[in-house]
Amino acid sequence: MAELTVELAQSQAEMTAVQDLCRSFRQWLYDNYPRHRPVIDVYYNPQKFEALLVDLPQIHRGPKGAILLARLDGEPVGCVMHHEQAPGIAEMKRLFVSAASRGRGIAAALCEASMARAKDDGYHSMRLDTGILQIAAQGLYRRLGFRQRDAYYPVPPELEQILLFFEREL
């Protein structure tokens, strides 16, 4: 049986693996929803997205955030991160598991590790957003106790119809 580990991404090699997984997620969106590429590019603007990937350590690490990397038998297969969205409230971002590794509980393990760490860091709830077409993700979040809610940040008009928002107590 394959060994799954979920740990903080700290080294440069681990951060590179996370950045590569994030790029794979955007490509997965392009591949699975080609008709929606213009909208995907609004949410994941290519230039801003690359700048964001460079800034991930400053945004998501430290006392108010974390970047977690999942490995299967030592190979990077998934990531998730969170940061402070509001006082006492963490926001989960960029959950992704490589296509070859899906169906093994890795996404749930990443979410559970992120929620546990956020709770240990003093957050009392966690929020996230996901796309209306990401049915598997929605099911996972609901199984983990997230409930759908209104938008918790200003949403550009072109994204209003494609985003769903969730929250749960930690």
CB 48 within 8 A of CB 60: no
| Rounded Cα distance, 170 and 145, in Å | 10
Instruction: Provide the pLDDT for residue 158.
Output: 83
The b-or-e profile of 22-57 (16+ CB within 10 A means b, else e) is: bebbbeebeeeeeebeebbbebbeeeeeeebbeebb
Task: Give the pLDDT band of residue 161 (cuts 50, 70, 90).
Answer: confident
Express each pLDDT in 80-137 by its tens digit: 999 999 999 999 999 999 998 999 999 999 999 999 999 999 999 999 999 998 999 9
CB 128 within 8 A of CB 157: no
State yes or no: pLDDT of 63 exceeds 80: no
State yes or no: pLDDT of 46 exceeds 90: no
pTM, whole model, 2 decimals?
A: 0.93
State yes or no: pLDDT of 155 exceeds 80: yes
Q: Delineate the domains of the chain, giving CATH numbers in brackets.
A: 4-169 (3.40.630.30)
